[in-house]
Structure 1
């Protein structure tokens, strides 16, 4: 599939140079790009990277693969805006991407932080919790022992 992406991208050269594309099931008229070749070149320039990113997202085994959702969303909005042609391409997609980025970036950062702490620094949070509980129990026992010793001394006096 990846080997065929250059052929898919350069397929725009096989479209007519006029402003309308007549197919059996629909007719497409380019209002802003003047020629179908330009529209298809723009479409393929957005669609091929989107296709490769989606393929990468579903086949990636790394912990950071959720970051790929940001460029996937960006290319998706660009393809949709190219198809509808009611506004300029790449103009306001950032406003649609901000909510996606505010969810994905912290999620990936916290995953990275946990993995970095555990595997790089060797910090095991569960072991730290067990150790802190042991210290608390030891402190409670020591406090109870000191309290008993204090009461015993008061009785002697």
Structure 2
């Protein structure tokens, strides 16, 4: 029993340490574009098996700058979404979707139209997520703030209807006699 608790604690500490490392490395990752050689003659850059090109930008470091400006907030928001224990954590999906659409457009779109057309895609995401978050909020607010338990209310209504039915049956028997 004790060794099982120790292994759970070790696993939890390892995961939390890994998350802290990822969060602390975000600053280095964000400013990684400063380590890219500048000059228009550089056509492509290979790093860890990934080939970066200008992709419509004037220089490769500008492309990396735009990518990191989207990737770092995106992965920090994903970490927040995964680790959040609050009821409203689904709302974090909206900025996650925003950064994902912006990253996609900065990689596959024209460099002159970065961060322009994502609003229409984001509107669709918001139309799904906002009602879900509001529904969860209403349920929790009613239960914990107002003390309204919908299951208890349903049980009371069923009990009330049963009493009414029994009373009607009793009245009908009384009239027949």
- In the alignment, what sits opposite 1:124? 149
Matched, 1:85 2:85: no
- In the alignment, what sits opposite 1:59? 83
> Aligned-pair distance for 1:107?
1.2
Matched, 1:11 2:32: yes
Change (3 A) 1:22 1:146: closer
Give the 5 Å matches for 1:35-74.
35-74=59-98
| In structure 2, distance between residues paired with 1:9 and 1:44 | 5
| In structure 1, distance between residues paired with 2:68 and 2:149 | 47
| In structure 1, distance between residues paired with 2:106 and 2:95 | 16
| In structure 1, distance between residues paired with 2:54 and 2:70 | 19
> Aligned-pair distance for 1:30?
4.2
Matched, 1:97 2:122: yes
- Between 1:80-89 and 1:119-128, the stretch displaced more is 80-89
Q: Report the secondary structure of 1:17's partner residue.
A: coil
Confirm or deny: 8 A CA contact 1:18 1:34 kept in the other structure: no
| In structure 2, distance between residues paired with 1:18 and 1:43 | 18
- In the alignment, what sits opposite 2:169? 144
Matched, 1:22 2:10: no
Structure 1: which 4+ aligned runs deviate by more than 3 Å? 24-27
- 1:18-69 C-alpha deviation (Å, 9 max, x unpaired): 23333376461342x3122222222211111001001111111112211111
| In structure 1, distance between residues paired with 2:39 and 2:94 | 35
Which runs of 5 or more structure 2 residues have no equivalent in the other structure?
A: 1-21
Calculate the TM-score normalised by the size of structure 1.
Answer: 0.86
- In the alignment, what sits opposite 1:155? none
Which one has a bigger Cα radius of gyration?
Answer: 1
